[in-house]
Chain A
Amino acid sequence: MEGFMSIDIFIIILATGVRLATPFLLAALGEMFVQRSGVYNLGVEGIMMMGAFAGFFATLQQGSPLLGIIVSLAIGALMGLIMAFVSVTFKAEQGISGIGLYMFGWGLSGLLFRLYVGGVTSIDGLKPIAIPMLSDIPLIGQVLFNHNVLVYTAFLLVPLSGIILYKTSWGLNVRAVGNKPEAADTLGVSVVKIRYQCLIVGGMLAALAGAFLTIGQANMYADNITAGRGFIAIALVYFGRWSPWGILLGSLLFSMADSFQSMVQVLGINFPYELAVILPYMVTIIALAISYGRVWAPAALGKPYERGTRG
Chain B
Amino acid sequence: MKKKVLSLILAALTILAFSGCAAKPATETTPQKTDAEKIRIALVLPATVDDMAWGQSMVEGLKAVQKNMGEDKVEVAISEKLGNAVDAGAAIRQYATQGYEIIFAHGSQYQSVLNDIAKDFPKTTFAYGTGFATQPNIFAYDPQAQEGGYLLGILAAKMTKSGVVGIVGPVESGDAVKYNYGVQQGVAKGKADVQTRIAYTGSFNDIVGAGNLAKTQMSAGADIITGSSQQAVGAVRAIGETKGNYWLSTDMDQSSIAPDHVLASQVYHWEKVVNKIIDLRKQGTLGGQHLTLTLADGTIEFKYNEKLADKVPAEVKAAVETAKQEIISGKLKVELPKK
Contact = CB atoms under 8 A, between A and B. Distances in A.
Interface stretch (B43-51, B66-74, B136-144): B43-51
Contacts of A96: 7
B192 interface: no
A159 interface: no
Contacts of A118: 26, 50
Contact of B208 (A225, A259, A277): A225
Please give me the 6 A-B residue pairs with the lowest Cβ-Cβ distance, nearest first: A107-B17, A277-B202, A265-B199, A119-B50, A100-B10, A227-B206
14 contacts: A86-B10, A100-B10, A100-B13, A104-B17, A107-B18, A108-B20, A218-B238, A222-B51, A223-B48, A227-B206, A265-B200, A268-B197, A273-B202, A277-B201
A119 B197 CA distance: 30
A9 B256 CA distance: 32
Interface string B176-208: 000000000000000000010111111101111
Interface stretch (B101-109, B113-121, B213-221, B262-270): B213-221
A266 B217 CA distance: 6
B240 interface: yes
Given A262-B199, A273-B172, A111 B7 contact: no
Contacts of B81: 110, 223-224
A92 B233 contact: no
A107 B198 contact: no
B216 A259 contact: yes
Contacts of B201: 277
A181 to B, nearest CB: 18
A189 B215 CA distance: 49
Contacts, number: 143
Contacts of A268: 195, 197-198
Nearest to B199: A265
B211 interface: yes
Contacts of B206: 227
Contacts of A225: 207-208
Nearest to B56: A119
B14 interface: yes
Nearest to B47: A223
B212 A217 contact: yes
Interface in B215-272: 215-217, 219-220, 222, 230-231, 233-234, 237-238, 240-241, 256-258
B319 interface: no
A2 interface: no
A107 B20 contact: yes
A129 to B, nearest CB: 15
B7 A217 contact: no
Contacts of A219: 237, 241
A17 B82 CA distance: 31
A278 B13 CA distance: 34
A110 B52 CA distance: 16
B26 A267 contact: no
Contact of A93 (B3, B18, B202, B230): B3
B6 interface: yes
Contacts of A277: 200-202
Contacts of B10: 86, 92, 97, 100-101, 104
